[in-house]
Amino acid sequence: MEKKNYNIFELMAVVAAREIEDGAFIYIGTGIPMLATSLAQNMHAPNIVPVFEAGGIAPQMPTLPLSVGCSRTTHRTIRTCDMPEIFEMAQLGVAHYAFLGGAQIDKYGNLNATVKGKYNAPEVRWPGSGGANAFGSLCWRTMIIMNHEKRRFVEKVDFITTPGYIDGPGARERAGLPPGTGPYRVFTDKALLDFEEKTKRIRLIGLLPGVSIDNVVESTGFELLIKDGLINVPPPTEEELRILREKVDPYRIVLGRGDQ
């Protein structure tokens, strides 16, 4: 295989950035979502509004933050508020996108960040929701970033921390969640996925460079829908890599972790 001139974090950031349209209001977490948002802002989407959970609205970050509340996230904001206000903006319908991660995801995009195994006798206890449940419930569209592994892409999550389409079409609305919301894209280290309109199930729509359909299917623990006219996601352009490396994360605070 041809030697790649980028690492997996750079690739995932580029793929996610391309899906962010100008003018979008986005909740971002630490890590790849921050790279993606900042890259989009420096390329095709200068008019987005990035917002951090602990209160930073549209900061001009001098360098990448270590957490969603650290001083980098409130550097030169247009307003710094408190957490109720942050979540109330999502409840109000202001927020187009939220980037979320999770330890497990199932075919309806339900996310588990709480517990592996039984709730009362956990095999592994993870930190829990954080802001994820509210963002995934209240933002118009949820973008999910995860490593593509069979143990993470499971038939049914052990615990729904953040509901996706729960158990199928209409389930979110029946549960009482605001209509018209839900997971929109899943970005992994292997593929680009969306949710098929009729069934609300995860569907493969694009392969990252060097990855085959079989690779993706083998790394997925449930029956994967595959879109007709599957695309091969183009690798990062010189320009995308330059901006990522020179402007977004010059000290490789996050990008460096993709080298391992």
Task: For residue 49, state whether it binds other proteins (rule: CB under 8 A).
Answer: no
Task: For residue 73, state whether it binds other proteins (rule: CB under 8 A).
Answer: yes
Scanning residues 97 to 116, which ones bind other proteins (CB under 8 A)? 114
Task: For residue 125, state whether it binds other proteins (rule: CB under 8 A).
Answer: yes
| Of 98, 101, 102, the residue nearest 51 (C-alpha) | 98
At CB < 8 A and 24+ separation, what contacts does 65-68 make?
Answer: 65/30, 65/34, 66/30, 66/253, 67/30, 68/29, 68/30, 68/131
Give the distance from CA 125 to its chain's centroid.
Answer: 22
For residue 10, the minimal CB distance to other proteins (Å) is 17
Task: For residue 52, state whether it binds other proteins (rule: CB under 8 A).
Answer: yes
Task: For residue 119, state whether it binds other proteins (rule: CB under 8 A).
Answer: yes
Pairing of strands 225-232, 115-117: unpaired
Write down the residue that tokens 């997971």 correspond to: 183
Per-residue contact string for residues 131-150; x = within reach of other proteins by CB under 8 A: xxxx--xx------------
Measured between alpha carbons, how far is 77 from 59 in angstroms, rounded to an integer?
Answer: 4
Active-site residue, 218 included: no
Among 120, 197, 214, 260, binds other proteins (CB under 8 A): 120
| Of 150, 154, 231, the residue nearest 193 (C-alpha) | 231
Give the distance from CA 41 to its chain's centroid.
Answer: 16
H or E, element range at 123: strand 122-125
| Segment interacting with other proteins (CB under 8 A) among 140-148, 160-168, 205-213, 222-230 | 160-168
Does residue 113 contact residue 134 with C-beta atoms inside 8 Å? Answer: no
Among 63, 212, 232, 237, binds other proteins (CB under 8 A): 63
Q: Give the residue with the Cβ less far from other proteins, 52 or 97.
A: 52
Q: Give the residue with the Cβ less far from other proteins, 78 or 124.
A: 124
Among 56, 183, 235, 258, binds other proteins (CB under 8 A): 56
Task: For residue 168, state whether it binds other proteins (rule: CB under 8 A).
Answer: no
Task: For residue 232, state whether it binds other proteins (rule: CB under 8 A).
Answer: no
Pairing of strands 141-145, 182-187: parallel
Catalytic amino acids?
A: 53
* Interface ranges with other proteins (CB under 8 A): 30-31, 52-56, 62-63, 66-71, 73-74, 80-84, 87, 90-91, 114, 119-122, 124-134, 137-138, 159-163, 166, 171-172, 175-178, 251, 253
